[in-house]
Amino acid sequence: MDQCSQSADAREPTLLQAAAYLANARQTGNRLDALPCNEASLSLEQGFEIQQHVGVLAGKKVGGWKCALPKPGKWIVAPIYTDSIVSCDRYPLGFATSTVRIEPELACVLGASLPARAAPYTADDIARAIGQVHLALEVIDCRYTDPQKVPFEQLLADGLFNHGLVLGPRAISLSSHNLPTHLDVTLSHPGVEPVSIAGTHPDQDPVSPIVWLANFLSARGIGLQAGQVVITGSYAGLLEVPTHQPLDIQFGEAGSLSVFFSTLEE
């Protein structure tokens, strides 16, 4: 029997052990080849349960969530920890690298809590709960050496590539009632021609994933809290950008976000 196959009686300690591996990886920067499981060992529910233990074991506070509409065999949901949400123009990566991967997104800041409850939340409930909309960049990283060799359930356990979030300025003329399906994104940095992308939200409707998230979490006794930030997908896919120099990302007419990614070398 492999280390993540378990009886009902042994289930909790084994999931906690897996979470401890990932918590240690987050705290030390050491990467894992994989959790001590084979592909058939973890269910989506167990992967999510490990994910929830990781933050507790690492001493993290949830400051937001990333989500998308679920796909066959995949739940797109992961916490974003408060200490990795940066609202200034310098983002410390904590490791040495010449490039970093980012995803340009809109971040919805909740103005009201959405506690766990029996009745499902509707799109109107979510729209009323959103207080502000900000420009944002999800910063992408993984605690595995080669994530392409790791089954999805283990990626879910790790937080689905989230390193953190650059929370930029409030989006101009956008609110929960007029979040765009399409948003052009232009990336600029010194010495290179700007790159423009005709951006489209991956789920078409940026609010629908938050409806799913609120109901998914509510069914598990987890509420969304006022002040938490929710991101629902990149308008420009995954972009690789340089560290050690100023970057500017223009989000159509919604405004621009400036950031400098610093590393251990600085």
Domain limits at 118? 61-262
Residue 180 lies in a domain: yes
Residue 51 lies in a domain: no
Q: According to the model, what pLDDT value does residue 10 have?
A: 44
Q: According to the model, what pLDDT value does residue 256 have?
A: 97
Residue 149 lies in a domain: yes
Residue 35: name the closest of 111, 166, 116, 142 by CA.
142
Q: According to the model, what pLDDT value does residue 36 have?
A: 78
Residue 226: name the closest of 62, 12, 104 by CA.
62
Predicted confidence (pLDDT) per residue in 205-263, tens digit = 999 999 999 999 999 999 999 999 999 999 999 999 999 999 999 999 999 999 999 98
Residue 40 lies in a domain: no
Q: According to the model, what pLDDT value does residue 245 have?
A: 93
Q: According to the model, what pLDDT value does residue 40 have?
A: 53
Q: How far is CA 168 from CA 138, 165, 191, 198, 238, in A?
A: 11, 9, 24, 20, 18
Identify the CATH number of the domain in which residue 129 sits. Answer: 3.90.850.10
Q: According to the model, what pLDDT value does residue 129 have?
A: 97
Q: According to the model, what pLDDT value does residue 94 have?
A: 80
Residue 49 lies in a domain: no
Residue 191 lies in a domain: yes
Residue 217 lies in a domain: yes
Q: What is the pTM of this model?
A: 0.91
pLDDT lower than 50: segments of the chain: 1-3, 5-12, 39
Q: According to the model, what pLDDT value does residue 11 have?
A: 45
Q: According to the model, what pLDDT value does residue 210 have?
A: 98
Residue 211 lies in a domain: yes
Q: How many domains does the chain have?
A: 1
